[in-house]
Amino acid sequence: MTPKADADLFAQESAALAQARAAHADPRADARAALADMIGHYERLMRESRRLIRRSDRAELDMNQMNRQLHELAQQLEYRATHDPLSGALNRAAVIDQASACLQQEDMALIVLDIDHFKWINDDFGHPAGDTVIKTVVSCLRKLLGSDAAVGRVGGEEFSVIWPTADAEEAREVAGHICDAIADQVFGAPINRQITASVGVSWNPRGTCFELAYSRADEALYAAKRAGRNCVKIHSQLPPPVTPPPAPSDASTPCH
Ligand SMILES: Nc1nc2c(ncn2[C@@H]2O[C@H](COP(=O)(O)OP(=O)(O)OP(=O)(O)O)[C@@H](O)[C@H]2O)c(=O)[nH]1
Domain ranges within the chain, ordered by starting residue: 3-74, 92-237
Ligand 1 touching residue 119 (CB < 6 A): yes
> Does the pLDDT value for residue 10 go beyond 90?
no
Q: For the chain, what is the largest distance between any 2 Cα atoms, rounded to a whole number of angstroms? A: 117
Q: How far apart are CA 85 and CA 223, in angstroms?
A: 30
Q: What pLDDT score was predicted for residue 222?
A: 97
> Does the pLDDT value for residue 231 go beyond 60?
yes
> Does the pLDDT value for residue 43 go beyond 60?
yes
Least confident residue range of 34-43, 45-54, 222-231: 34-43
For residue 54, how far is its CA from the centre of ligand 1 (angstroms)? 61
Mean pLDDT, rounded, for 173-192: 95
Classify domain 92-237 at the CATH superfamily level.
Answer: Reverse transcriptase/Diguanylate cyclase domain (3.30.70.270)
| 122 pLDDT tier (thresholds 50, 70, 90) | very high
* Average pLDDT of every residue of the chain: 91
**β-strands 232-234, 108-115: how paired?**
unpaired
DSSP three-state, residue 87: coil
Q: What pLDDT score was predicted for residue 120?
A: 95
Cross-strand pairs, 162: 110, 150
For ligand 1, atom 26, which residue shows the shortest CA distance?
Answer: 119
Cis amide leading into 164 (omega within 30) = no
Atom of ligand 1 nearest to the CA of 127: 1
The ipTM assigned to this model is: 0.96
> Does the pLDDT value for residue 8 go beyond 80?
no
Q: What pLDDT score was predicted for residue 72?
A: 98
Counting ligand 1 atoms within 8 A of each CB, the residue from 132, 157, 230 with the most, and so the one to mutate, is 157
DSSP three-state, residue 2: coil
> Residues near 138 by Cβ (< 8 Å), separated by ≥ 6?
87, 88, 89, 151, 153, 159
**β-strands 108-115, 197-204: how paired?**
antiparallel
Atom of ligand 1 nearest to the CA of 131: 1
Tell me the per-residue pLDDT of 129-149, one tens digit each, with 9 for 90 and over.
Answer: 999 999 999 999 999 999 778
Q: What pLDDT score was predicted for residue 93?
A: 97
For residue 138, how far is its CA from the centre of ligand 1 (angstroms)? 16
The residue from 157, 158, 170, 219 that is catalytic is 157
For 31, 37, 43, the CA distances from 13, given in Å and listed in that order, are 16, 9, 11
DSSP three-state, residue 131: helix
More confident residue, 31 or 233: 233
7 sits in the region (left: phi over 0; alpha: psi -120 to 50; else beta) called alpha
Single-letter code of the amino acid located at 116: D
How many other C-beta atoms lie within 10 A of the C-beta of residue 156? 12
> Does the pLDDT value for residue 2 go beyond 90?
no
Mean pLDDT, rounded, for 252-256: 52
